[in-house]
Chain A
Amino acid sequence: MKITGCCRIHQNEVLVNGKKYFTSDKNQHEELSMQLYRFLKTEYPKFYKMDLLSKMGWLATEIVCQTIPTISKFADDEIALLFANSHSCSESDERFNHSFKVENSPSPSQFVYTLPNILLGELAIRHKWYGENLFTILPEFSAEHFSSHAGIFIPQKAKALFCGWINLFPVTDVFVFFAEANSETSPGILDSKEIEHWYKIIK
C-alpha cells in the first residue's frame, strides 16, 4: 500500500502532503480548529457541535479528502478507519465531569462525546462510509502500529485505509493519512518508514 495523501497538524502549523497549508496565529486547540474550519470554506453545520477530538480528526480528514479526488471511486464500505491517540477522549470526559460536579446538571450532549470512537462515527456520517472502523489507545505515536495493524482490514475487509493519530495534549499533534493499494506494492503492507517520514516532517 502507498500513502497517497496526508495532513499533519502540529501546534499551530498545518501541512498537507508535506507542504505548508495553513498557519494559525493562535496556539489554542479551539481557536485553531475554528480558524482552520473557516479556511476550508466548507459548510458543515454538524461541525460546531462536535467535541475537540472530533473537530481535529474531521478537519484533517476533510483536508486529505479534498486533495485526493479519487477517493470517491471506492465503494461505500471499502474504506476502513484506523484511528488512535494516547488520552482517549479526556477533554470531553473533563467537560462532562464538570457538568455534573460543578454545574450540577449532567449534560447529555457532552456525555455522548465521552467515547473516542464517536470521531469515527462523525467521519462515517460525513462521508457515508459504512466500512470497518477501530479506535485504539497507544502510549505514544507509533508508525509501527499503523503499519502492522493495516492487515486487520486490508485486503480482506477493505481496499483503502484512513489512519489517524489525533492527540490534543500536551500540544495539538495530529496526523491523518490515506493509504491505498497500488500496482507496485502488496496490499495490507504499509511501510512504517513512509508513515514515520510524513509524521516527522514537522516534529
Chain B
Amino acid sequence: MIYIGSETILSPNGNVVDCFKKIAEKKSGVSKIPGNGFKGESFYCSMYLENRPDFNTLAAQTIEQLLQKSKANLLTEESTLLIISTTKGDLSKGFENAIISPAKFLYEKFKLKHFPLIISNACASGVMAINAAAAFIENKQYQNIIVLGIDMITDFIVYGFQSLYAISDEHCKPFDNDRKGINLGEGAGAVLLSASKDVFTSTPVCFLGGSSSNDANHISGPSRTGEGLFRSINKTFNSAGIKTEDIDFISAHGTATVFNDEMEAIAFNRLNMQHIPVNSFKGFTGHTLGAAGVIETALCITCMHENKLLPSAGYYNKGTTVELNLIKDAASATINTVLKTASGFGGCNASLLLQKIK
C-alpha cells in the first residue's frame, strides 16, 4: 500500500486550512492586479500582494510546513527523495539555471541525501510527479517521497498566455457558458508519499494508482475527443481495479479556456462520469501551472478528511456540449474515492486515484 498525506499549501490565500475554508465560503482567491498586462491591461490573478516571498524561500517554507506534519528527520534519510514539479522554476536566476538553481538550493539547505528530481511536464507536472513518486515507492527505490509543486507569476508567463489570448479579463469561470480563459495563480503545494503509515503525524489516504497519456494530436490545443485524458483515466482505473461507480468526487483540471473544459467534459462523458460531482479549484487558486496538480491533490485529501464537496468557483450555467455535475455549493458527502486529473501543453494528460484507508 502507498500512503499520501501531510498535505500542505503555501499560497497568496494562506495555507491548506485557509484555502479549504475560503473555498467552502465561496470567497474568491483571485483579484484584479492593476497594469500587469503587456500593454498595461489589468488582469485577475491569485498573486501575493504584499510580503511576496522569493522562489527559494517559498519552496523551503512549504517543505518545512510539510515536515511539521511528518515524522522528524524524514527529509535527510537515505530512503527519502524530493521531487520538484515546476514549469518555469525561478526565472530570476536566468533561463539556463531557472529550474536547476532552486533544486541546488534545496539540496544544500536541507542537506538532502539525493539531488532532487525535477519534473517539468507543463500543467500536468504535479499529477505526473505524484505518479512518479508512487512508482518509485512501489519499486522499493525509495521509502518516502516529498513532492513539491511550485510556480510563480512572472511577466514572461503573463505575456505568454496573453499572446495566446488565453487570459480572462474577469474572474475565470471553469466549465461555465461564459468562460473566457484562465486566471493565473502562484504558490506552492506539497504532499508526502510513503510505504509506511507511521511517517505521517495525521491520517494519510491511500494512493491507488495513476497514469499519463499523450493526445498525439496538437502541441498547444487539447484533443477535440479528449482522447489522451480518456485513455489516462481508463488506464488508472484498470491499474487500480476501480470502476466509474466507485468515484465520489472528481477534481478536474478546469482551466476555464473554451477548448480545455470542453475536452474534459467529453472525456468524462466517454467514461460515463457525467453524474459524478466535479469541480475545478482554479476559480479560487488561479492556474498555478506546475504547482496546480499538487495544490489540488492537497485540497482533495482535505475534502476526503472533512467529507465535504467544495464548490467550483465561477460556475453558473452549463457551458459544455455534454452534461457534467458541477458542484455549485459546498456540501457534506461521504468521500471515499477521488479522481484527480490534469492536462497540459504538449498534449499531456494525467490522472490519479485517492482512497480513504479502509
- Which residues of A are interface residues toward B (Cβ below 8 A)? 76-77, 86-88, 90, 93-94, 96-97, 100, 106-108, 111-112, 114-122, 124-125, 127-139, 148-149, 151-153, 156-157, 169, 188
Indicate with 1 or 0, residue by residue over B92-106, a CB within 8 angstroms of chain A CB atoms.
Answer: 000111111001100
Q: Which chain B residue shows the least CB distance to A90? A: B95
CA distance A119 to B122 in the complex (A): 11
Kindly provide the distance from the CB of A143 to the nearest chain B CB, expressed in whole angstroms.
Answer: 15
State whether the Cβ of B139 lies closer than 8 Å to any Cβ in chain A. yes
- Listed by A's residue number, 7 A-B pairs whose Cβ atoms lie within 8 Å are A87-B96, A93-B98, A111-B159, A124-B215, A151-B135, A152-B135, A152-B139
Residue from the set B98, B215, B219 with the largest chain A CB neighbour count within 10 Å: B219
> Quick check: B164 and A108 within 8 Å, CB to CB?
yes
> Quick check: B96 and A129 within 8 Å, CB to CB?
no
Q: Which chain B residue shows the least CB distance to A138? A: B118
Binds A, one of B64-72, B195-203, B317-325, B344-352: B344-352
CA distance A152 to B344 in the complex (A): 20
CA distance A93 to B91 in the complex (A): 10
In the complex, chain B residues whose CB is within 8 Å of the CB of A157: 135, 211, 235, 239
State whether the Cβ of B38 lies closer than 8 Å to any Cβ in chain A. yes
Shortest Cβ-Cβ A-B pairs, 6 listed: A121-B346, A90-B95, A111-B160, A124-B214, A106-B163, A93-B95
CA distance A74 to B248 in the complex (A): 35
In the complex, chain B residues whose CB is within 8 Å of the CB of A153: 135
Residues 114-136 of B at the A interface (beta carbon under 8 Å): 115, 117-122, 128, 131-132, 135-136
In the complex, chain A residues whose CB is within 8 Å of the CB of B38: 100, 106
SS class of chain B's interface: helix, strand, loop or mixed?
mixed
Kindly provide the distance from the CB of B93 to the nearest chain A CB, expressed in whole angstroms.
Answer: 11
Kindly provide the distance from the CB of B102 to the nearest chain A CB, expressed in whole angstroms.
Answer: 11
Kindly provide the distance from the CB of A122 to the nearest chain B CB, expressed in whole angstroms.
Answer: 6
Residues 155-183 of B at the A interface (beta carbon under 8 Å): 155-156, 159-164
Interface range, B side: 35 or more
In the complex, chain B residues whose CB is within 8 Å of the CB of A118: 122, 219, 345-346
CA distance A134 to B121 in the complex (A): 6
> Quick check: B99 and A88 within 8 Å, CB to CB?
yes
Residue from the set A100, A108, A130, A169 with the largest chain B CB neighbour count within 10 Å: A130
CA distance A148 to B219 in the complex (A): 29
In the complex, chain A residues whose CB is within 8 Å of the CB of B344: 115, 117
In the complex, chain B residues whose CB is within 8 Å of the CB of A76: 216
> Quick check: A120 and B227 within 8 Å, CB to CB?
no
> Quick check: B227 and A130 within 8 Å, CB to CB?
yes
Kindly provide the distance from the CB of A76 to the nearest chain B CB, expressed in whole angstroms.
Answer: 8
CA distance A135 to B87 in the complex (A): 11
18 A-B pairs besides A107-B163, A133-B348, A137-B118 with CB distance below 8 A are A87-B96, A87-B100, A88-B99, A93-B91, A106-B162, A111-B160, A114-B156, A117-B348, A120-B348, A127-B216, A130-B227, A133-B212, A134-B128, A151-B136, A151-B139, A152-B136, A152-B139, A156-B135
Instruction: Select which of B115, B120, B131 is within 8 A of A135 by beta carbon.
Output: B120
State whether the Cβ of B228 lies closer than 8 Å to any Cβ in chain A. yes
Instruction: Select which of A125, A131, A169, A188 is within 8 A of B96 by beta carbon.
Output: A169
In the complex, chain A residues whose CB is within 8 Å of the CB of B212: 132-134
> Quick check: B119 and A125 within 8 Å, CB to CB?
no
> Quick check: B239 and A117 within 8 Å, CB to CB?
no
Kindly provide the distance from the CB of B154 to the nearest chain A CB, expressed in whole angstroms.
Answer: 10
CA distance A87 to B93 in the complex (A): 12
Kindly provide the distance from the CB of A134 to the nearest chain B CB, expressed in whole angstroms.
Answer: 6
In the complex, chain B residues whose CB is within 8 Å of the CB of A97: 95, 156
Instruction: Select which of A111, A115, A134, A151 is within 8 A of B141 by beta carbon.
Output: A151
